Amino acid sequence: MPQPAPTQPGTAPTRPGTATVRSRVRIPLTFPDGYRAEAEVFTFHGLADGAEHLALAFGTTPEDTTPQDATPLVRLHSECLTGDVFGSDRCDCGPQLRESVERIAEAGGYLLYLRQEGRGIGLYNKLDAYALQDSGLDTYDANTALGLPEDGRDYTAAAQMLAALGATGIDLLSNNPDKAAQLAGLGITVEHRVPTGVHLSASNIRYLRAKVERTGHSIELSRLVG
């Protein structure tokens, strides 16, 4: 069920600068299971971190609607080469990406594909963290053992992208309360946080449990694994 998004207490946050749409192009997508969707892919000028993030529009988006129409469904998906491309079972990123495209295509909205590999620590560091996880550390402690943040992601660019697309009020498809809190602090109204499905495997159960226990992700593991 959708959950009310948290508000951010304290002083007013600094609003990000303005980004603009650089280009847009339609790309037909076919997933390994045969699911097909057509995305309109947007690139941007002026993103705060200078990275080449993408927004993929599916279904009916704010550009196609009037203000009283449905709130767009939005997924902030951090790049995961191992999960998104190679189908790694160590995480749930690939199945979440596949699920998100279909749900957004049905509801109308955007998938923001953010270049934040390994929760912002990069691909090589993520693989180093995997090696530490194999010795018993969880996904967060492995990062800090490398002298890196548990989660180094900043969603300023995501807020800029949404503002450039006219999507300043959204339903957020995410299990992660930090995404909603950061967006709210950056001027995006998160009407509801909508959890994804639970994509459980023998190889990712420790990873998912750590996300629930360490950072409050809304993943209903208890009904599946006790």
**Going by C-beta distance under 8 Å and a sequence separation of 6 or more, which residues neighbour residue 165?**
21, 42, 55, 57, 61, 62, 63, 110
Contact 18/160 with Cβ under 8 angstroms? yes
| Angle in degrees, CA 166, 168, 171, rounded to 5 | 115
Task: Give the active site residues.
Answer: 151, 153
Spatial strand order of the sheet with 169-173 comes to: 3-4, 189-194, 169-173, 73-78, 109-114, 54-58, 36-45, 20-30
**Quick one: CA dihedral 46, 153, 107, 25, positive or negative?**
positive
Record the tokens describing residue 73, joined without a space: 């469904």
Question: How many C-beta atoms surround the C-beta of residue 18 within 10 A?
Answer: 10
From 136, 127, 116, 38, select the one nearest 86 (Cα to Cα): 127
Q: Which residues pair with 20 in a beta bridge?
A: 45
Give the Å distances, CA to CA, from 102 to 21, 83, 111, 143, 221.
24, 18, 11, 32, 23
